[in-house]
Amino acid sequence: MTSTVLKLAQELMACPSVTPATGAVFDCLEAQLKPLGFEVHRALSGEAPHGPVENLFAIRKGPEGSRHLAFAGHLDVVPPGEGWASGAFEPEVRGELLYGRGAVDMKGAIAAMVSAAAEVPQDAGTISFIITGDEEGPAIHGTLALIEHMRSVGAIPDLCLVGEPTSVNRLGDMMKIGRRGSVNIWLEVEGKEGHVAYPHLADNPITRLVAMLAELKAIKLDDGTDWFQPSNLEVTDLTVGNPATNVIPAKAQARISIRFNDQHTGQELAERVSAIAAKHGGTARAMISGEAFLTPPGEFSAMIAAAVEAETGLSPEASTTGGTSDARFLRALCPVIEFGLCNATMHKRDEAVAVPDLDALARIYARVARAALAR
């Protein structure tokens, strides 16, 4: 398994796949999965500017009535930027580290999943791969399209393991049993432009927008829960675009972002903000990126913890911190937990993974698969 997972990771990382991803990187993954007995379904979804996106669903069916574990992840990566010591899409091993875009987020984990699947016999149960090319982008045409396909063919897993890089300082120190939801809201106030010396002949939209934002920021959404930190609302943009020093502008805009726990829904928060915006003569347009979810500690998290401890000696912390992932969509299918590599270099120049961590992760995933399919 040691040499195999490194080779698999290098093959995937050598395929440029800046989001939205299509083509060669999916050819590569398909070529890795087919010899293992997987049936592979690929499809394009969406149009410019957020598409087309390629998605892949692969399944190797076990005996009739057997358990079904899904591995999930994404092959798209963020743009590499400048200043790499070696080519971002020319994976290179230096010492114990494998360098290249996608090393930890998350082609390395997908390689470990493929390696793990090769170690689990087909008669143990059903294993599938839910792999998108649209996670780092808007995530409009990615995992949601895959879920629709899975429902149409009746391929609903019992459990789903997402390979996001959850570890912090050492492989195995953290898994994600939930994530907060996310909603972005664009605010706008229209006023009446005029000369600053004659304010009574104008209506300054900035004044009302500032009052609106002050009221929104004064809201205490909650105190958090046993598993979630408190929800927070942040102002992320403020735009007037008025180059003149002596003109009261006609319009002012702002954007807020709310990360919320499972005491709220995106729609409820959007409606609450809209009411406050209307009170100040403004409008609000919301885009809900995902709802909060929680897979309470139990049988599935215990399986992962046991596998991690067996390979690393660590007991992973069950956490809900951090940003969002496609687990927010997959939660609609079955219990879902995220576990993967160390995240220190993700989205950074010279992204890298320790080769021993790749090997260990493949063994952890294989242990989880055997345990999940044996239940």
**Residues forming the active site:** 76, 135
* Integer Rg of the chain from CA: 23
Rounded-to-integer distance, Cα 214 and Cα 98, Å: 48
For residue 13, whether the previous peptide bond is cis, meaning omega lies within 30 degrees of 0, is no
Rounded-to-integer distance, Cα 77 and Cα 75, Å: 7
Rounded-to-integer distance, Cα 217 and Cα 232, Å: 9
Q: Which two tokens stand for residue 210?
A: 């500032």
**Sequence-separated (6 or more) residues with CB below 8 Å from residue 214:** none
Torsion-angle region of residue 132: left (phi > 0), alpha (psi -120 to 50) or beta? beta
Burial grade of 185 (CB within 10 A; 0-12, 13-18, 19 or more): buried
Burial grade of 285 (CB within 10 A; 0-12, 13-18, 19 or more): middle
- Return the DSSP state at 32: H
